[in-house]
Amino acid sequence: MADRTPIIAPSILASDFSRLGEEVARISEAGGDWIHCDVMDGHFVDNISFGSAFVEAATRHTDKHIDVHLMISRPDHYLDRYTPLADSVSVHVEADHDVAQTLSRIRAAGCLAGLAISPPTPLEKVEPFIGQFDILLVMTVNPGFGGQPFIPETIEKVQAAAEWRAKGLADFHIEVDGGINTATAKIAREAGADIFVAGTAVFKASDAAAEIEALRG
Ligand SMILES: O=C(CO)[C@H](O)[C@H](O)COP(=O)(O)O
């Protein structure tokens, strides 16, 4: 059984982009475990965030684990731009690609492979890929924008995925992303999540270090 110590992954989507380096360094020094990078293409989601040049710039200001979340329609096409920068890369089960092949390429590149699922998608869609991902990224908001409220119904997916894990079907992290604060992190942790993406809660906190500690529970 892998280590389930909570991992806090501040999302730089909520940072001040005009001071990216300072923001990444600040949140790393405050105790963020992973730096979460939300890449959006304006097609898979209705927003454009940043691309690989921006992620590369962020990596120059931290030695923390870089967690890339590709909210893009063709993750297979752009994958090779991100794997050299990242320690983990998550791709969506709903995107237009050969999911098994993309997950295999992520692992072959030396990264943890993440499979992300949006709120409207039933968990059964990821079931055929059990054993092929290291992280199941359960979106707890509809992807595209930071600062949205947590969708409580998504927690059923966390519970069901934790049951797969308990049955020994595979060992994987369960990551939650969207509307995570101390209250929703507690709900997700009790359901079985162990990686907590938090944008607004951490970057907008008056004391980021205290907020990160509080998110650990
Ligand atoms: O993936 C995302 C949006 O698609 C963000 O990572 C997520 O929304 C986190 O931001 P916040 O903590 O502000 O909700």
Give the model confidence (pLDDT) of 34-54 as tens digits.
999 999 999 999 999 999 999
3 marked as binding residue: no
| CATH architecture for the domain at 7-216 | Alpha-Beta Barrel (3.20)
Mean pLDDT over the full length of the chain: 97
How do the domains of the chain map onto residue ranges? 7-216
Any idea which residues carry the catalytic annotation? Answer: 38, 177
Cα–Cα distance for residue pair 85/146, rounded to 1 Å: 23
Give just the sign of the alpha carbon dihedral 74, 77, 81, 84: positive
Strands (E), 29-121: 34-40, 65-71, 88-92, 112-117
For the CA of 150, the nearest atom of ligand 1 = 14
Residues forming a β-bridge with 9: 197
CA torsion, ordered 94, 1, 83, 29, to nearest 10 deg: 110
Share of the chain above pLDDT 90, in %: 98
Pocket of ligand 1 (CB under 6 A): 11, 13-14, 38, 69, 141, 143-148, 177-180, 197-201
Cα–Cα distance for residue pair 25/90, rounded to 1 Å: 23
Contact 35, 58 (CB under 8 A): yes
**pLDDT single digits (tens) 78-134:** 999 999 999 999 999 999 999 999 999 999 999 999 999 999 999 999 999 999 999
Contact 180, 215 (CB under 8 A): yes
ipTM over 0.85: yes
Quick check: 208 pLDDT over 80? yes
Query: Mean of the pLDDT values across residues 150-167?
Result: 97
